[in-house]
Amino acid sequence: MKVALLGVSILCVFICALTTWLVAKLRSLPFAAMASATALIYGGLWLRHSNTWLMNDVVVLAVSAIGARPLGSTIRSRGALVTFAVVVATVDIVSFATGPTNRLITDPNLSWVLRLLAVTTPLHGHLFAVLGVGDLLVFAGLAHAMRRLGMSWLLALAIPGLGLALAVFVGLLYRGLPAMPLISATTIAGAWWLGRRRP
C-alpha cells in the first residue's frame, strides 16, 4: 500500500509541477478566467460537501497552481524566499502538532473537509489524504519565486519538489508528517546555491 501511496504522491507532485509551469505561461486574461472558473467550481464543491475524490483532486491541484502565481510574485529576493520558507515550515509544524491540521486528521466528523483540502486517493476501501492544498500551494509558489530569481523552470520545480517528495516518502513511513519543513529545507539550499552562482 505504501508503494501505491508513494506512486500517487509522485504523480501529484509531477502534475502540480506541470500545471504550475503551464499556468505561468498564461497571459493575464486567460489566467483571470481560469482562476474565476476554478474558484466557482471549488465553491460549489464546498457547498455540496463533495465526495467525488477525483474531481476534488483536480480542483485542489488547480487551486494550488493558480494561487501559486500571485504568491510567488510577492517574493522578490533570496532573503524574502528564505524568510517565507522558515515561516511556513514553523507554521506547518505547529498546525500539524496542535493546530487545525491536527484537528482535520484526527476528527472523523471533519473527513469531508479534509477531502476538499487535500489530494486524496482511494486504496483498499479507504480514502487517504496524500498532499494538502497548502503543501502544493507553497511548493508551486516557491517554484514561481525561484524562477523569478533566475533559476530555470526545471530547477525551480525540482528543488522544492524534492522536498515535497521526501516529505511524502517519510510521511508514509511514519504515518504522517508536516511537508513544509522539508520543502523549505530544499528551497533554502536552492537559494544558497543560487547565491553561490551569482556573486
For residue 108, the surrounding DSSP H or E stretch is none
Per-residue model confidence (pLDDT) at position 35: 82
Per-residue model confidence (pLDDT) at position 1: 67
Range of the domain at 155: 2-194
In angstroms, rounded to a whole number, what is the distance separating the alpha carbons of residues 42 and 156?
Answer: 27
- Asked if residue 142 belongs to a domain, the reply is yes
In angstroms, rounded to a whole number, what is the distance separating the alpha carbons of residues 27 and 8?
Answer: 31
Per-residue model confidence (pLDDT) at position 27: 81
- Asked if residue 199 belongs to a domain, the reply is no
Q: What is the pTM of this model?
A: 0.86
Task: Flag residues of the chain having pLDDT under 50.
Answer: none
Contact 188, 75 (CB under 8 A): no
Q: How many structural domains compose the chain? A: 1
121 has which bridge partners?
128
Per-residue model confidence (pLDDT) at position 53: 80
- Asked if residue 154 belongs to a domain, the reply is yes
List, as one string, the DSSP characters of 39-52.
Answer: HHHHHHHHHTT---
Locate 68 and state its grid cell.
Answer: 501559486
Contact 66, 58 (CB under 8 A): no
Per-residue model confidence (pLDDT) at position 144: 93
